[in-house]
Amino acid sequence: MTVCYIGNSFKYETEAVLKLFLPIVTFDFLFEEYPQVGDFCIIKREPNNDGYTLSVTVSLDGTNESLEETRSGDFSDKDDEAALCKMLYLIMQKLKGVTPAWGLLTGIRPVKKVNELLDRGLDKAEIFSALKEKYFVSDEKLELAYSTAVTQADALAALDKRSYSLYVSIPFCPSRCSYCSFVSHSIESAGAKKLLPDYVKKLCEEIAQTSEIARELGLRLDTIYIGGGTPTALSAEQLEAVMSAVKKNFDISKIREYTVEAGRSDTITEKKLEIIRDFGATRISVNPQTMNDAVLEAIGRRHTAKDVVSAFDKARRLGFGNINMDVIAGLPTDTPESFLQTIETLCGLDPESITIHTLTVKRSSKLFSEEERRVDGRKQQFHFENENKILRQNPYTQNFGSDFVHFLRGMAVSEMVLTGQTVLLEKGYLPYYLYRQKNTVDNLENVGFAKAGYECLYNIYIMEEAQTILAVGAGGSTKLVNTGTGKIERLFNYKFPYEYISRYDKMISKKDRIAEFFAGI
């Protein structure tokens, strides 16, 4: 589709709205130029005698729809952009016959919007009405976002403004899952094996240097999160080295939470669990993603549902009283029945929290890249080829042809997510953090559910951008938050372990910015 901007260049937000309805269409963008052929969208702001006119025209599969509005007075660019997005949304809704549950709310933090309105003193009815009016969000999603805001209110209120969380990044995994787009390195590759000793060494150095920075600034450590990747993909000795560096350099006696993402059950051993426990972690994640063995195989996992249960039991036996389990709705070959079965099996294990993610398919995942190589140079076709493959694998979708939107509905991912969320609510789990990602099937959300008192503080603070996070390790992203002004600044570590090791000194010198940021706060 060709998207033309006349008298404006509101590309970012309008493209996001178009993608709600046309998730896999490739767009060409023109500025101050009209389209020649094919499907198009014209987004226009032009002066008239009374002021100016905003208009949107879309031509899709031979059908044309337009909306326009004349304006005069004091409107900002942001107001005009919002009005054009609304018009575009209404046109696309009509042309595609689809009403996205999150309306035209395309950002990744819907709860933040609710929290902002709560802070301004609005009550539930007023919040619902404001978000419906502005973004067309459905009642069902408003209810979810509102309940999440209510659950996390205490954690946000209890926040010490000079506290921070420490994130330790371990970007290694035992093997790569087919849907994964994360920069994670298979621990079995020769390259990773060679890099790991140096990686652990540099990571321990960075842990020590970061503790020094925080100490000099008088910041107080509140929570720790060792994530990945799969931190337990490290050997027991390497894991011990990292956790011992944390213990040696930080005062962990006063922190409120210490999570280690144990992640995949094929990496969880009794010895590693003992190290995690003995070095002070209070919370772990055992992430099956699905408890259906056929789906585990389809996504390239080398463990079974039985292995997950055994890892979970081991952790319980060793005294872990706060365990999270992650699942993903929409995995290739999964079905609503099997997804429900997964949720029920996990509830049977009775973990303290369960997080329901929705599948995000990115170009860097194996699901796509395998196809990309095969249809080299034919980008558009690569999408359809790949989707056809997924369609054929799934009994619910094998008859849907190559229409991706049909695929999304055929997978009934919305149904999976809704049913899963309903079961968890019935079992007494409450939503406590929520975020959305781009390229997520059906534009759905990821929601962490927890029993009361077991909400993961780190997850809440990172998602609501409420606390500074000092990150160490490759791919780590430090987020500096001025809780007074709301100003946020990010510092990025190198993404790839080899870069992280070889350019460590350059990277660490950028951390001077942390002191500058906190000067005067």
Mark residue 429 as left, alpha or beta (left: phi above 0; alpha: psi -120 to 50; beta: remaining). beta
Site for ligand SF4 in 280-309 (CB under 6 A): none
Q: Which CB atom, from 72 or from 364, has the smaller least distance to ligand SF4?
A: 364
Site for ligand SF4 in 105-124 (CB under 6 A): none
Nearest position to ligand SF4, beta carbon: 180
Interacting span for ligand SF4 (CB under 6 A) from 88-96, 157-165, 179-187, 412-420: 179-187
Query: What's the closest the beta carbon of residue 419 comes to ligand SF4, in angstroms?
Result: 23
Q: Which CB atom, from 151 or from 238, has the smaller least distance to ligand SF4?
A: 238
Hey, what amino acid is at 376?
D
Q: Choose, by CB under 6 A, the member of 29, 182, 496, 498 that binds ligand SF4.
A: 182
Are 387 and 405 contacting, i.e. CB atoms less than 8 angstroms apart? no
Query: What's the closest the beta carbon of residue 264 comes to ligand SF4, in angstroms?
Result: 5
Beta carbons within 10 angstroms of residue 247's beta carbon: 17
Residue 184 binds ligand SF4, judged by CB under 6 A: yes
Site for ligand SF4 in 437-476 (CB under 6 A): none
- Per-residue binder mask for ligand SF4 (CB under 6 A), 237-276, x = binder: --------------------------xx------------
SS3 for 480?
Answer: strand
Query: What's the closest the beta carbon of residue 361 comes to ligand SF4, in angstroms?
Result: 12
Query: What's the closest the beta carbon of residue 234 comes to ligand SF4, in angstroms?
Result: 13
Q: Choose, by CB under 6 A, the member of 42, 67, 111, 177 that binds ligand SF4.
A: 177
Site for ligand SF4 in 199-238 (CB under 6 A): 228-230
SS3 for 296?
Answer: helix
Q: Is the dihedral of CA 73, 75, 77, 82 positive or negative?
A: negative
Q: Choose, by CB under 6 A, the member of 173, 444, 463, 514 that binds ligand SF4.
A: 173
Q: Comparing C-alpha atoms, which of 164, 166, 322 is closest to residue 247?
A: 166
512-521: list long-range contacts, CB under 8 Å, 24+ apart. Answer: 513/480, 513/489, 514/213, 514/217, 514/470, 514/478, 514/480, 515/213, 515/216, 515/217, 517/480, 517/482, 517/489, 518/217, 518/219, 518/480, 521/482, 521/484
Query: What's the closest the beta carbon of residue 325 comes to ligand SF4, in angstroms?
Result: 14
Query: What's the closest the beta carbon of residue 265 comes to ligand SF4, in angstroms?
Result: 11
Q: Comparing C-alpha atoms, which of 353, 368, 341, 275 is closest to residue 312?
A: 353
SS3 for 175?
Answer: coil
436-452 burial, b at 16+ Cβ within 10 Å, e below that, comes to bbeebbbbbbbbbbbbe
Residue ranges that bind ligand SF4, judged by CB under 6 A: 173, 176-177, 180, 182, 184, 228-230, 263-264
